[in-house]
């Protein structure tokens, strides 16, 4: 197989936002540079949220200032509202990722807004982008497969936001399994329904491995035709407003699986493993991703004569 799969690295944003240890701006920048050296070309680097609520995301402007635009690289800023959009514009991010929660229960706790209020904010930002200019916009639908507060999330709850994003003419759509409850069969159904509702929108998937189904869900997405997946180096991640949510699928685990099957990702597996071990040491914990614990495919070893 020579099919190219794009992996969006989310370690510096989603990966760090739930960690107890707070990294300094210089440490976050080194993490970003190490990831880019390992092959990351598209990466969520910062989050324009209130640092009082999410102190792990402090320093977004400083980080963005230290990352001037480079050809072939895209640094993405997370945005929740128009204030975040203004900060994203000022920081000159290459892309913006607007989060819209699929449930009121999660939305009110995560960003202090109902689903309706978030849709209105997303539409206002998209209208401003088209009228005034600005970076490409992805809309990520969080808790698209299940919510820790409201429980099951129906297909219609998700498609309502899908249609609103399509009508707003955003550039990309992402479905996020924020708390890691999806299964491969539901993933396939939701991808198919989303494609039918918004056939012209590129689709990206974001999985957490809370219940050990993350890679299976990534595989189901690929089988359904998706070619863009989020992942986090070391398997870091989680949401500070989602009880017991653990990390994203590990970038190195996803790269290992895909490249063993012959897919092209553009990543250097050894570089990812080294980066995962480095950042995990800073955070005072071992990597969650299996490949960073076990290493890549074993290399042949010569027998030693006795």
Domain boundaries, the chain: 6-294
pLDDT of residue 306: 60
Q: What is the mean pLDDT of residues 200-225?
A: 97
**Positive or negative torsion for Cα 276, 92, 7, 125:** positive
At residue 246, does pLDDT exceed 90?
no
Pick the catalytic residue from 88, 101, 233, 239: 239
H or E segment at 79? strand 74-79
- Over residues 185-196, the pLDDT tens digits come to 999 999 999 999
* Model pTM above 0.75: yes
At residue 8, does pLDDT exceed 70?
yes
Q: Could you tell me which CATH number the domain at 6-294 has? A: 3.20.20.70
At residue 116, does pLDDT exceed 60?
yes
First to last CA, the chain: 43
Tell which residue, 71, 10, 72, 81, has the closest CA to residue 46: 10
Q: pLDDT above 90 covers what percent of the chain?
A: 91
Is 233 part of the annotated catalytic residue set? Answer: no
pLDDT of residue 30: 98
Q: pLDDT above 70 covers what percent of the chain?
A: 98
H or E segment at 230? strand 228-231
Contact of 75 with 117, CB cutoff 8 Å: no
54 vs 111: CA distance, rounded Å:
11
152 vs 146: CA distance, rounded Å:
5
């Amino acid at each position: 197989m020579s099919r190219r799969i794009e992996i969006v690295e989310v370690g510096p944003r989603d990966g760090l936002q739930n960690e107890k240890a707070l990294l300094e701006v210089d440490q976050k920048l080194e993490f970003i540079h190490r990831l880019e050296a390992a092959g990351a070309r598209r990466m969520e680097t910062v989050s324009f949220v209130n640092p009082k609520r999410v102190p792990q995301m402090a320093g977004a402007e400083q980080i963005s200032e230290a990352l001037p635009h480079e050809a072939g690289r895209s640094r993405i800023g997370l945005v929740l509202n128009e204030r975040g959009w203004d900060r994203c514009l000022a920081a000159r991010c290459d892309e913006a990722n607007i989060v819209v929660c699929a449930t009121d229960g999660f939305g009110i706790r995560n960003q202090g807004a109902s689903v309706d209020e978030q849709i209105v904010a997303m539409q206002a930002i998209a209208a401003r982008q088209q009228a005034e200019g600005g970076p490409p916009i992805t809309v990520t639908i969080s808790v698209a497969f299940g919510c820790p507060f409201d429980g099951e999330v129906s297909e219609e709850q998700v498609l309502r936001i899908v249609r609103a994003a399509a009508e707003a003419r955003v550039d990309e759509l992402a479905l996020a399994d924020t708390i890691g409850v999806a299964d491969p069969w539901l993933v396939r159904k939701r991808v198919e329904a989303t494609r039918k509702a918004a056939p012209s929108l590129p689709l990206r998937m974001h999985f957490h491995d809370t219940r050990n189904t993350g890679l299976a869900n990534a595989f189901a997405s690929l089988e359904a035709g998706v070619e863009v997946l989020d992942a986090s180096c070391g398997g870091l991640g989680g949401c500070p407003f989602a009880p017991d949510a653990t990390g994203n699928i590990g970038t190195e685990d996803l790269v290992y699986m895909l490249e063993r099957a012959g897919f092209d990702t553009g990543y250097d597996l050894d570089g990812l493993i080294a980066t995962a071990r480095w950042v995990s040491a800073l955070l005072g914990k071992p990597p969650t991703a299996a490949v960073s614990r076990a290493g890549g495919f074993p290399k042949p070893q010569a027998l030693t004569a006795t």
